[in-house]
Structure 1
Amino acid sequence: MMQNVTILLFITVFFSGALGSKAECTYKAVGDTFMIPLNDAEEEIPPDSDLTWTHNGTIVYSKKGSHVKIKTHNINTRGSLILEKLQIIHSGEYKAEGFNGDGTSLKGSSLQLCVRDPVLEPTVTVKCEESGAVLTCGAPNNTETNVVWIKNRNEMLNVTNTVLRVDSSELKHRFSCTVRNEISKKTSNDVQPGCFHTGPTSEKSDEKNNNNNDWSKETYLFGLDLWWTLVIVTGVGIVMLIVFCLLCVCWQKKGRKAREEEEYRLTALVTSDQSDQTTERSERLAKSQRPLPPVPGPRCPPSPPYM
């Protein structure tokens, strides 16, 4: 009898300690900076004091007077331990023990720290069945989270499973799910199970419905809303068209100028040739108008001598 009472007392103390430890846990997010106070007194510790901080029994800071022996983490002037860029490995129990120069205790504190990853946005997948649909709330890397289902923007009470079965009469409603842990929460986009075909041919319908249900996620391209993306692409297209038209106009003007210069050169050459021909024709005409030499008269035979 005494042995049974001892075992029952041990179990009660064990579970009470476990629950108490979980309730007293201080939750912080990965990447945060957290300061663990040495005690409730907001006073600076004397320079000649001795101070030791431990994490799960391992010394992470230790000083004796002004000499610092171990310094895995820093402290401030009040002796509070400063934890920067928290990671999961920083979870655990932190204890402080210190003494003034005269040997009096600094009344160090103890704290249970729990570091958690922020939850990621969940997604709802739909699988059609003969009697309705099965909705699954899933998110990558979400551990130790609670799930809450929402129908038509109203929270569904007492439904905390990641899988939700929906009757055919509820397929017209919109569903979403929220995942949360001690430091954050995220809610999925609304989904309306569009299961119109059941039986063996429902797999293709499921795939089509899932694509339709995820329309809000597909409205993002390169990190922008789809409509903004269309506006930007249209604007860029218009600018490129204007630039192309300007280039064509410039090219035409350049070609027209080249043709005008060529025609001007040809006109100058033709004018020069015509001038030379006119000069040559004038010279020929002048030569043709000179007076002819006189025509010599007829010669008479000499008269015979007189006898």
Structure 2
Amino acid sequence: MRAKMAFVSSVFFFLLCCSFLSPTDSEESCDYYAAVGANWHVPLDYELIASDNLKWTHKQEIVFNRIGNSFLIKKKDVDERGFLKLTNLSFKDSGEYTPTVFRNGQSVGALTSRKLCVLAPVQKPTLNMTCEEREPGNHVVKFSCLIKEELQSIKDKSVSVSWYKNTEVLPDARAMVLVKQAESVEKDSFTCNVSNRISFAVSAPVTQTCYESMFPDTIFGISIWVFVAGGGGIVLVLIVIVIVCSIKARRSRHRKIKEEAELRLQWANTAQQQQQQRQCAHPHNPHNGHHEHQHQHHHHRKQQKQQKQQQPGGHTGPRKHRSKPRPRAPESSSSHPPSHPQRAPQAQSGQNTDSEQPPPLPNPRTKGLKTQRV
């Protein structure tokens, strides 16, 4: 009795498990795949004529039967070629479809059956991120790809998962959970791609927050290397500008020094030429002119004396007009400087050896000469 009860329980458990299995558990043997809600035509590999008897069977159930233009069963419809039309597919439409054709009351032979698998489009998965510290300083990040299923009793065994790091596919990652070292994927973003035979969906990208370095990779959304390269370029331009400006300033300073030296040399040559011209026009010794004037004055007085001696006595003719002689300046002594007020500026100007010395004043005539003439 107990053995019988155990056998009944095992059979019941098997049937219960089978009730939760999807018609797509053996989806590897499906000929066609279609999405829930879509339309599909089951093809017929035979050319019909108007008098043929066409019958379609789904899971041992006749869904369409027509003889000529008379419909015996019409749960589904066919087109002009005899293709079975399936609209607004659901999971119960999955299974094998078998056509049968009779012509003149005889079967035309076995025709090809088609097995259809109806699948639900995958929903967009949700990517969760959790942090774990397995050792001090060793941070691990765990990414979990979560799929929402419409019906718990109907599971799509054809669903597969793939992982993307930034835009690069990770070929060895096929599980629903991905584990990485947080430090090695600090700034990388991860996404999971869920797909089946008819559709696919990609999760939103997620970046780990378990580990953060001291130096950021971006500033205001711009890579820090852009700022580094820009700063280096600006510094290089400034260095070039400083070098060019310093070279120009040095050349300008050298040119100015050279021009000043040439100008000074020109001034020195001009002054030397003027000094040579003055030395040629006036002797260098200022006393030469004074001795020459004294000699001329002495010669002039000697000629006048000879003319007077040649004149006869008693000559009372008109006397020649003679210019009034200038009063002779007293001889300067070392103890008494000259007191003539008009000679001070000349004496000061005489300090310059290059200036011309004035001629000496003539000596006044003595009274003895006048008495002799009378």
How many angstroms apart in 2 are the aligned matches of 1:185 and 1:162? 15
> How far apart in 1 are the matches of 2:163 and 2:29?
26
Paired residue type of 1:88: F
Check if 1:187 corresponds to 2:202.
yes
CA distance in 2, matches of 1:25, 1:96: 15
| Structure 2 residue matching 1:61: 3-state secondary structure | strand
Decide which of 67, 71, 91 is 1:68's aligned counterpart. Answer: 71
Q: Deviations over 1:248-304 (max 9, x none)?
A: xxxxxxxxxxxxxxxxxxxxxxxxxxxxxxxxxxxxxxxxxxxxxxxxxxxxxxxxx
1:136 aligns with 2:150: no
Change (3 A) 1:19 1:33: closer
Pick the aligned partner of 1:34 from 18, 26, 40.
Answer: 40
Kept in 2: contact 1:38–1:80 (CA 8 A): yes
* 8 A contact 1:62–1:68 mirrored in 2: yes
Corresponding residue SS for 1:89: helix
Larger radius of gyration: 2
Aligned length: 177
Residue 138 of structure 1 and its aligned partner are, at CA, apart by 1.1
One-letter amino acid of the structure 1 residue matched with residue 32 of structure 2: T
Report the Cα distance in structure 1 between the residues aligned to 2:211 and 2:62, rounded to whole angstroms: 64
Q: Is the 8 A contact 2:194 2:201 kept in 1?
A: yes
Instruction: Report 1:243-282 matches (<5 A).
Output: none
Change (3 A) 1:66 1:101: farther
What CA distance in whole angstroms lies between the structure 2 residues aligned with 1:102 and 1:164? 63
- Pair 1:96 & 2:99 matched: yes
In 1, the alpha carbon distance for the partners of 2:109 and 2:130 equals 62
Aligned to 1:163: 177
Query: Partner amino acid for 1:67?
Result: S
CA shift, 1:102, in A, is 6.0
Q: 1: CA distance between counterparts of 2:62 and 2:100?
A: 11
Decide whether aligned partners of structure 1 residues 161 and 24 sit closer, same or farther in structure 2, where only a CA change above 3 A counts: same
The Cα offsets for residues 80-120 of structure 1, whole Å up to 9 and x where unpaired, read as 10001111110000000111236351753300100101111
Amino acid at match of 2:55: T
* Residues in 2 aligned to 1:153 and 1:82: alpha-carbon distance in whole angstroms: 42
CA contact (8 A) 1:75 1:81 kept: yes
Contact 2:182 2:208 in 1 (8 A): no
Q: Which amino acid aligns with 1:132?
A: V
Q: Distance in 1 between matches of 2:106 and 2:171?
A: 58
TM-score for both structures, normalised by structure 2: 0.44
How far 1:63 moved relative to its partner?
A: 1.9
- Following superposition, the deviation at residue 167 of structure 1 comes to 1.0
| Greater than 4 Å deviation, 4+ residue runs | 18-21
Partner SS for 1:148: strand
Cα drift, residue 20 of structure 1: 9.5
After superposition, the CA RMSD in angstroms is 2.3
How far off is 1:47 after superposition? Answer: 2.3
Secondary structure (helix, strand or coil) at the match of 2:208 reads coil
Please give the residue correspondences for 1:1-307 in structure 2 after superposition, counting only pairs within 5 Å.
22-39=28-45, 41=46, 43=47, 45-101=48-104, 103=106, 105=108, 108-130=111-133, 131-141=139-149, 143-144=156-157, 145-169=159-183, 170-196=185-211
Contact 1:46 1:101 in 2 (8 A): no
Q: Is the 8 A contact 1:49 1:65 kept in 2?
A: yes
Q: Give the residue type in structure 2 aligned to 1:134.
A: K
How many angstroms apart in 2 are the aligned matches of 1:181 and 1:171?
Answer: 31
- For residues 49 and 187 of structure 1, the distance between their equivalents in structure 2, rounded to whole angstroms, comes to 50
Q: Where does the alignment leave 5 or more consecutive residues of structure 1 unmatched?
A: 1-17, 198-307
Q: Which amino acid aligns with 1:193?
A: Q
Question: In structure 2, what is the equivalent of residue 228 of structure 1?
Answer: none
SS in 1 for 2:80: coil
Name the aligned partner's letter for residue 144 of structure 2. T
Q: What CA deviation, in whole Å up to 9, does each residue of 1:109-167 have, x standing for no partner?
A: 30010010111111211111113111101121174310001111111012111111111
Q: Does the C-alpha gap of structure 1 residues 56 and 179 become closer, same or farther in structure 2, counting only changes over 3 Å?
A: same
**Partner Cα separation in structure 1 for residue 83 and residue 193 of structure 2:** 37
